[in-house]
Structure 1
């Protein structure tokens, strides 16, 4: 699956007094978990959340340790932060939380909730570990144990997710028919395990890939980028990009240059 870390790094920049550190999960977890991140000494009262298509678990440590589960975002929003706190994040790959805890994540879309179930209580122990290498080691241990308890079978949902990530401009209807499932079943799977419909997921993945591309390359023609990404024209790209990020691609590129 395509790694979304470049987008995550951009989002996390400026919210901590120290550079945020990123860590790869254990190899047995890499197909389910994209990245761990660790930020020390928050300097802002709010954190910018952008549409991403994934679910995150965040362990915050200040006077107390709290574990939050953040659902898939479909719009830009601000999430509160505690000043001076430490935050440890687990970014799951799309649809993969189901292999660690049995939860319908649809009620988390565009929101978060403090978690108290046994699995999350175990993760709270990460908040009391000082050394970051030990934090990662214990996270790998806890998540591997949870994966073994839940079990995993690659299924048609994973196939659909992979198809959309690698071919975000293809029609969802064709992908669903290719897997011999109904549109209704596909919507139920996506809503339960990602929190949004297949079409919305495809839209968010495609627009994030365009954002990553704008961040990494010098684009001479936005109209050509729009066409190659499956948009009818640049106007449609501008409209969708602004819907998700609040600015047009051109304005976004200008912000990158100025910063």
Structure 2
């Protein structure tokens, strides 16, 4: 498995977390992989064989070849049918909202074909250019040109939403929204609506995902730490609170995270 990450240009570093590529040779059988929330929206291009996305234990759909994966609030399974060759862009929570007018809560927990979000004619050319590119660096250059063109419309996002997202990240998901707005329920309701539109999640959901990210980073340290130490380092109330949130977003316990072959891909992403 070859998983590589790349930094965006200076012009896009406030919107894009990273670019990544993943290559896995064709095997007799691939194991299902559990995909878990990370707070980001991704635009992905499948360059290899198809990838199944399971919608039940034995039912699946094929992921679109060029798609946007919205915010995830519950884990799901994917399984390649052959060779894996994927190129993707991981956007910060507010990043993708700068590119489209559609409310992002409509994209949650699903893959949406790119030609449903942008001009199909433009997407056909973009997908063709990405497929024909000779390297990941060339694909990044193609994507940056596409994204910068979309940004010319200069979409304005509510400054309060930006400030709240910054506070959530700076506190690793530990800040309480009540501490920002106090008892002003009107402001909190407005923020909830703006978050759903521009991010796809509520402030509370985003905070829980970001705090889980911080805990996962500790969990994946070279020297494993005790669950109690991780829970308190991440400012959960106690170990049981940490395990409850972990299981809500991943579907398994922290201890099972290391034992499961289904988590190989997710552990690569988080590391």
The TM-score, its normalising length taken from structure 1, stands at: 0.80
Shift of the alpha carbon at 1:19? 0.8
Aligned to 1:93: 92
**Separation of aligned partners in 2, 1:101 and 1:220:** 42
**Aligned residue number for residue 160 of structure 1:** 164
Corresponding residue number in structure 1 for 2:190: 185
- Does the 8 A contact of 2:97 with 2:104 survive in 1? no
Residue among 175, 199, 215 paired with 1:170: 175
Q: Report SS of the residue matched to 1:83.
A: coil
Q: Which stretch has the larger CA shift, 193-202 or 41-50?
A: 41-50
5+ residue gaps, structure 2? 51-63, 265-271
**Residue 81 (structure 1) shift:** 4.1
Question: For residue 114 of structure 1, what is the aligned residue in structure 2?
Answer: 113
- In structure 1, stretches of 5+ residues that fail to align are 1-17
Q: Distance in 2 between matches of 1:67 and 1:80?
A: 17
What is the aligned length? 240
Match of 1:182, SS state, is helix
Instruction: Report what 1:25 is aligned to.
Output: 8
Contact 1:58 1:67 in 2 (8 A): yes
Checking the alignment, whether the CA contact within 8 Å between 2:7 and 2:19 is kept in structure 1 is yes
Q: Structure 2 vs 1, CA of residues 163 and 244 (structure 1 numbering), >3 Å: closer, same or farther?
A: same
How far residue 175 of structure 1 moved from its aligned partner, in angstroms, is 2.2
Question: Do the aligned partners of residues 233 and 225 (structure 1) sit closer, same or farther apart at CA in structure 2, a change above 3 Å counting?
Answer: same
Map of 2:244 onto structure 1: 239
Q: Mark the CA change 1:253 to 1:226 in structure 2 (over 3 Å): closer, same or farther.
A: same
Equivalence map 1:242-253=2 (5 Å): 242-252=247-257
Give the one of 8, 14, 18 matched to 1:35.
18
**Residue 55 (structure 1) aligned to one of 38, 41, 44:** 41
Per-residue CA deviation, residues 174-225 of structure 1 (Å, 9 max, x unaligned), is 2245999711111111111221211111111101110111112535443243
1:237-258 Cα shifts (integer Å, max 9, x gaps) = 11111222233234435669xx
**Which whole-Å deviations, capped at 9, do the CAs of 1:147-189 have from their partners, x for residues lacking one?**
2233456722111111011212221122245999711111111
Give the conservation status (yes or no) of the 8 Å contact 2:44–2:68.
Answer: yes
Give RMSD over aligned pairs.
3.0
The 5 Å alignment of 1:131-170 reads 131-151=135-155, 155-167=159-171, 168-170=173-175
User: What is the Cα deviation at residue 77 of structure 1?
Assistant: 0.4
| 2:68 aligned partner | 69
Cα distance, 1:123 vs. partner?
A: 3.5
Would the alpha carbon gap of residues 57 and 91 (structure 1) be closer, same or farther in structure 2, given more than 3 Å must change? same
After superposition, the Cα gap between the structure-2 partners of 1:63 and 1:228, relative to the gap in structure 1 and judged at 3 Å, is closer
1:127 maps onto 2:131 in alignment: yes
SS at match of 1:31: coil
